[in-house]
Structure 1
Amino acid sequence: MPESYVNFMGGSPLNRLSWLRTSHAFLNAVVLSPTTRWIVLKDGQPLLVQHSGAEKRSLARLSTADVRSLLGSEPFFAQGKLEGENAPDDVAILEAARFHGPTVVFLGLHEPQTGEADALPSSEFSAKSSDPAKVVANIKGTPVFSLDVSKIPQEVLDDVFQKSEAVKSGAAFSFSEPRVAMNGLDMFEAAIFAEARSMVDWNTRNKFCPSCGSPVYSLWAGWKLTCSSLLPWAENAGKEPCPTARGLHNFAHPRTDAVVIMAIIDESGDKLLLGRNKKWPGKFYSALAGFIEPGESFEDAVKREIWEEAGVRVWDVQYHSTQPWPYPANLMVGFYATADSSAPLRTDLDNELDDARWYTREEILAVLSHAEGTNITRSDHRKLAASQEEKGPATSTANALAGDAVTEEEKKAKAAEGPSEVPFRVPPSTAIAGVLIGEWAYGRAGPQPGRQGQTKL
């Protein structure tokens, strides 16, 4: 196994400059930099651009000039009670706060790969610098923000986009279902998209303080939420003080939910266990997956999930790699494990599996080489998304399958290249399930016949 396997949507290219999230002076200055770019999302859907003559759409990266009319009045960060008002500099709970305008998150800096020193929390890049313009001048690269335009009328957005330099040059903008959008993204764009979508979703979903029920607001450039009852101008007469006013619990941090996903290999090393969810589109099989629970190691979660879902005991749990999965904020943690293929399989345990079976390496390789073997259409994605929304965040089976989407036209063209029928389908390599399956099938990872196991966690 490679020392470090980078999955699609992993390998973040950004220096997140996390120590500068508190510096409203830096943030307000860098927003106006001509090099700054914006990732735009609406209801979780990314804005894509198709340039004239290009075959595929890519992630739109707009300039501040393009989106300036959508951002609202200055200051952009460290806003006061009234729009256009600056917050006091000496109030910690107003550091880079934003109350007015759409949700904005500072994602980080894409630094040039020229051998120049990367930005570190040193005197040259200090959040406490008295000269933010100097800090901005020291920054080398492209600052990147995300902008959530979900509450802005589409006609307003259409007018703004029509005035952009890209459209003037013949490009076309459109919002896309995120899983479908992945089909056109490269590794660089996918990693930025994963961060942007997870952060926008987190800010959108969390509107109230979990301790007292008061509305929350954004600070630290979108990376923290805190209770509005703590604001200097809050009206708290007759109310009990919010518990978050004390100690280190006055902030809510962005969350990431870990999901184990595992390819189970039999003792011969030549068979792979795959399952099929009852709500999946036809013929799809994938690696089994499940959320890690409190007080549980990754290895424990692998063993528990396989036992609960298929009634199979596993051992020799071997880590492979992880994949950020922004639907809404999962980290898929991939493993291999070994099981006895002669033991009975159960599909009646958690009311989730429609089928589970062992496939030989030869059968898997035949599917991977088939034109239809890893195709997921837009219609398939709609079914997957619907099944995930119906069951809520407690399920991870859709995550185990999802990946690239292809159009019906692409599907027909690929089908014409090979046999008309495929016995079953598996996820593509843009999903970690597809990586685990393919890496094992081609003998690059996982338990192999006549080969020693990999290093365990």
Structure 2
Amino acid sequence: MPTRASAVVQSLFHFSRTLSSKPTTARISSRQPIRKFSIMDNVVNFYSGQPPLNRVSFQRSDASKLNGYLPRAKFMLFLKGNPLVEAGKIGTPLFLDYAQVEQYLAGGYQSVPESVTDARAKKAYESIRLPNTLPTLLFLGIDERLAPKGEDLHAPTGVPYFALDASAIGLDLASVNGEWGDARASGAMMPAWEAGLFAFARPLIDWNFRHKFCQACGAQTYSLWGGWKRNCITSVEPVEGKTCFSTTGLHNFAYPRTDPVIIMGILDSTGDKMLLGRQKAWPKGMYSCLAGFIEPGESFEEAVRREVLEEAGIEVGPVRYGSSQPWPYPANLMVGFYGRAQEGQQIRLDLDNELEDAQFFPREVVAAICNSASGSKFTKDDYKQLDNVTKGKVDESAPADDYAHFTRVPPETAIAGVLMRQWALGQHAMHLVSKI
């Protein structure tokens, strides 16, 4: 009799034999219908920002380059993580020009002082902003959608984009005809390209805001590399008799972080039902794919199996990658998978008590809600509820095979909605899961 491990190996072998067609590119967004996919499709989820900015990362340490971009740049502003949008249009970002923000920039970025001659010491001054009370100014990159092809990579001619933390600048909203949108609601309603820019900028603004003190010694930090790095202030303002170990070597807390989260559409042993769950704080009637953070020392596939077992008491066999999505709430990378549950199991929610309910829902039930006009309709308050995380209660679980309480699924702007639709809406996605 084959073991569980050998079954997984066999599945992966069959999967590898299908990898022969030429890769293509496809987009899943709230503005396009699901289409037929080939096994080698590159699914571009919402918030991915296609085509992306040219981040010109090799110029972040060059203050003169970054300052040269400022006069022709566009600026995306944030207040406590919420984007500046046009008044009355929460899904339309309001980009300001240089003249509207110049007074808050304090000249932009500072270059290495002439008095600093040591090569190692110079690195602490690369595109810095001091004093560290200045608002965070983050260089995002260059929009080259309309730029000529084959231009000099060191002198791009597209539109530069920056993000600015407005928490301390006292922006007059009336003067720009804007308002602060709710991050969740505004982000989900933006056009695809602008949403990608928002998902890029928001985590970096948030990271700069949350890391104002050195994790090594507790001193203040300052911004350098155009907002892409934070150093201990002792790097440029030494304290006699004290040396912070962060000033030597390479340390991960000096750079922005992205936390990987696995999210999975788990099928029953027949492949005709998908395991979905809900937290009690979520909008009424909403169910979604199970998800969880990666823990140290485990692979994505191991995390899928662990999370499903902990949340629903279900053992999972083969696991297959689906697609990924940047998720700026606050700074995650959602990594989507499909998996197949072992036969003859019962759901149990009493292990970590994270879910209010979990059930295997038939394909036709999920498909009907995905196709419903109200199945993925969410209000601003609904989006706020999605940020709440509470423990479920086992005695509140819905009866098995009672589907009337299931009325909403995540929209296609969330990877959970994509995983569910790929499986539920017809035969076009069956090859993604048929050999699991």
The match for 2:135 is 102
SS class of match (1:32):
helix
| Partner Cα distance (2:115, 2:67) in 1 | 13
SS at 1:11 equivalent:
coil
What secondary structure sits across from 1:97 in the alignment?
coil
Per the TM alignment, residue 295 of structure 1 is displaced from its structure 2 partner at its CA by: 1.2
**1:238 corresponds to which letter in structure 2?**
G
Letter in 1 for 2:86: V
2:222 corresponds to which residue?
Answer: 217
- Separation (CA, whole Å) in 1 of partners of 2:195 and 2:349: 35
CA distance in 2 between counterparts of 1:277 and 1:5 reads: 28
Shift in CA distance, 303/445, structure 1 to aligned 2, threshold 3 Å: farther
The one of 219, 242, 245 equivalent to 1:243 is 245
- What one-letter code is carried by the residue in structure 2 that aligns with 1:111? E
Alpha-carbon distance, 1:366 to partner: 1.4
Report the equivalent of 1:7: 45
What is the letter of the counterpart of residue 71 of structure 1? L
Q: Does the aligned pair in 1 maintain the 2:262–2:292 contact within 8 Å?
A: yes
* Alignment match, 2:98: 64
Distance 2:282 2:215 in 1: 35
Q: Secondary structure at the match of 2:333?
A: strand
Distance 1:378 1:57, change over 3 A: closer
Going from structure 1 to structure 2, the CA distance change for 1:226 and 1:358 (only over 3 Å counts) comes to: same
Cα distance in 2 between the residues matched to 1:78 and 1:246: 22
Asked if 1:363 corresponds to 2:400, the answer is no
TM-score (norm 2): 0.81
What is the correspondence of 1:252-263 to structure 2 with a 5 Å cutoff? Answer: 252-263=254-265
Q: Deviations over 1:250-280 (max 9, x none)?
A: 8711000000000001222211110111222
Q: Closer, same or farther in 2 for the Cα pair 1:57/1:304, shift >3 Å?
A: closer
1:453 aligns with 2:426: no
Matched, 1:319 2:321: yes
Alpha carbons 2:90, 2:185 under 8 Å: kept = no
> Does the alignment pair 1:429 with 2:412?
yes
TM-score (norm 1): 0.78
Partners of 2:425 and 2:327 lie apart in 1 by 25
Q: CA deviation at 1:183?
A: 3.9
CA contact (8 A) 1:336 1:446 kept: no
Q: Percent identity?
A: 42
Q: What letter matches 1:41 in structure 2?
A: F
1:30 matched to 2:69: yes
C-alpha distance in structure 1 between counterparts of 2:43 and 2:151, whole Å: 23
CA distance in 2, matches of 1:87, 1:177: 46
Alignment of 1:139-218 (within 5 A): 139-153=156-170, 156-158=171-173, 162=175, 164=176, 172-218=177-223
Match in the other structure for 2:29: none
Contact persistence 1:367–1:422 (CA under 8 A): no
May I ask how many residue pairs the two structures share in their alignment?
380
**How far apart, in 2, do the equivalents of 1:95 and 1:61 lie?**
27
Provide the secondary structure at the position in 1 that maps to 2:375. Answer: coil
Using the alignment, how far apart are the partners of 2:224 and 2:406 within structure 1?
A: 52
In 1, distance between residues paired with 2:206 and 2:115?
26
Deviation of the 1:88 alpha carbon: 4.9
CA distance in 2, matches of 1:372, 1:21: 45
Letter matched to residue 232 of structure 2: C
**Equivalent position SS for 2:291:** strand
- Match of 1:168? none
Match for residue 306 of structure 2 among 304, 307, 315: 304
Q: Which residue does the alignment assign to 1:277?
A: 279
State the AA in 2 paired with 1:105.
Answer: L
2-side partners of 1:70 and 1:276: how far apart? 44
Deviation at 1:227, TM superposition (A): 0.8
Structure 2 residues not aligned, in runs of 5+: 1-36, 392-403
Paired AA for residue 145 in structure 2: P
